[in-house]
Amino acid sequence: MNEQAMLPDYNTFGHSELFLKLASLSNKYFNKSICSKCFDQYDLKQVKCGECASKDLLIRPISFDSKDIEIFQRDIAKRLQSSYVLTPDNFIKMLLIYMRVQSGIPVLIMGETGCGKTSLIKFLCQKILDEDLEIFRIHAGVTADIIINKMNAYIKKVQAYTDEEKRLWIFFDEFNTTTNIGLLKEIMCERTLLGEPLPNKMVFLGACNPRRQKTAQLIQNDNAHVGLRKNRYEMQKLLWAGTDQRLLYTVVPMPETMLEYIWDYGYLNETTELDYIKTMLLRCKYLSNFEVIFNLVIQLLFQSQNHFRQIEDASSVSLRDIDRFCRLYNWFLDSICQRGPQENLDNPPDTYIYRASFIALMLCYYFRLHSDELKDVYVKKIHTILVEKIPSIAKVPNYLISYILHREQKWLIHDRMEVPANTARNRALCDNIFVLLACIVNRIPLFLCGKPGSSKSSAVQILMSNLKGKKSKDSYFQTLPELVAVSFHGSQNCTSESIIKVFERAAKSVGV
């Protein structure tokens, strides 16, 4: 065996080649039937998936010949690529996690928010190994009783397994946000619960955020632009309680036993991030059909990510922003196509693609900036990139704001929405309504931050009065879902339990 075969250079491997290597970790893609939608495995004799609603027949290798198995695995790799891309970076990380799991060592990962920790573990556990995965999302309101009750439920689930090789992976996400971290240390590091040993079929993993202080720029932004007066006595009480607002994340100190197992996940390098962006954009309808626009959007997103890291912090943007872009792009493209001629529904022209792309870009990045100066700098940077790729844009004054953004706002707000008498449709109100509408319809969490009188509550009330489902006065708003408001007034006395009750009340109001 030559040296290249023994020590391959994984940096030269593509998605399919890396998947073939990972597939060798289990027999899932060798002698099993696979669901083409959820990728669960079944015996070869089974023909339909019992978990998801897919009506497609299960897929399997034509034969057990090595060539047929490789063809089958490459087909699976191609199907998976639309939801997760394998790179040399995450491939090595998966192997390291697998080695630790097989050795019985706790897997404790430290990394910035949104750098792909959870998605990597889900892919390895469910798509490669076909193990059961439970994600326990920890927060400051998680008590010891909640942890114990959850663990007892997991123990019952494991005890019900009939397959001796089946394991339950339990992933404690953001485990260093609760003061009960000592109990989590006992579970993950000592494999006991209140002194009682835990089943061997349980695999424990955890992810935590680093204890890092805010940069001077972020502190300045918090103090100057949120518009909240901070009481020094209240701030001191927070410090005594262990909540230091100078920290980028609200985290608690970890026990020394845990520190021995902590593994630094690191950042995504530029090459890896570009690979992720390219793959995630394949979810955008019709975008890859236009090569010039596709490459332009990749460049715009990549430069936007870097721009925010420079003016804010390394963790201020992540792959979640790319995911938001894809969701908003698809929604705006559908909306734009519905307004145009019927023949454009299945074959949208490039002008539609441009509009949907630029509107989604502005929603993801432009509206996050807190000052007009920062917004102008960002728009100029994006405009420079656009003019380099599409010189004709230079002929349109203020292309992104006046031609793209304000045009869309006019169609949605000025031409369609009813507002209370004597209400001025100023820029602040229109921006708030526009962002609220796009995020609510696409179920994207949104926080409107601003000083009193900046049209936050007014925007919500106007949106609620116009979006009434089939009862809406405007024909376009009749195609959108009806909004039901569940209010909660926050204060310094709020507790996790009160917030949970609000969400339970909201679920009941919509019949969930």
51-61 per-position pLDDT tens digit: 776 667 778 88
Tokens representing 167? 């394991």
Where residue 453 falls among pLDDT bands split at 50, 70, 90? Answer: confident
The answer for residues whose C-beta is within 8 angstroms of residue 201's C-beta and 6 or more apart is: 158, 161, 166, 167, 168
Q: In the chain, where are the structural domains located?
A: 10-82, 88-264, 270-483, 484-511
H or E element in which residue 239 lies: helix 232-240
- Per-residue pLDDT at 231: 55
Query: CB–CB of 401/308 below 8 Å?
Result: no
With pLDDT > 70 as the criterion, what percentage of the chain qualifies? 90
**16-18-23 Cα angle (round to 5):** 90
pTM of the model: 0.82
Largest distance between two CA atoms of the chain = 82
Query: CB–CB of 98/25 below 8 Å?
Result: yes
In sign, the C-alpha dihedral spanning 3, 6, 11, 14 is: positive
Nearest to 227 by CA among 452, 429, 492: 452
Rounded CA-CA distance 276/291 in Å is 17
Ordered alpha helix ranges (H), 264-318: 270-280, 291-311
**DSSP one-letter code for 57:** P
454-479 per-position pLDDT tens digit: 888 899 899 999 989 899 898 888 89
Residue 498 pLDDT > 60: yes
- E-strand spans in 28-74? 33-34, 41-42
CA atoms within 13 A on the CB side of 90: 24
Query: CB–CB of 188/172 below 8 Å?
Result: yes
Query: CB–CB of 429/437 below 8 Å?
Result: no
CATH number 3.40.50.300 given to 88-264 = yes
Buried b (16+ CB within 10 A) or exposed e, 114-135: bbbbbbbbebbbbbbbbbbbee
Q: How far is CA 19 from the centre of its chain?
A: 23
Residue type, 351: T
User: For the range 37-40, what are the long-range contacts, defined as Cβ-Cβ under 8 Å and sequence gap of 24 or more?
Assistant: 39/76, 39/79, 39/80, 39/126, 39/127, 40/130
- Per-residue pLDDT at 449: 85
Nearest to 440 by CA among 422, 418, 459, 414: 459
**DSSP one-letter code for 460:** H
209-260 per-position pLDDT tens digit: 887 666 555 555 555 555 455 555 555 555 554 555 555 567 888 899 899 8
- Per-residue pLDDT at 70: 87
Nearest to 421 by CA among 458, 475, 453, 456: 458
* 3-class secondary-structure state, position 56: coil
Residue 141 pLDDT > 90: no
User: Computed over its alpha carbons, how large is the radius of gyration of the chain?
Assistant: 25
Most confident of 102-116, 358-372, 412-426: 358-372
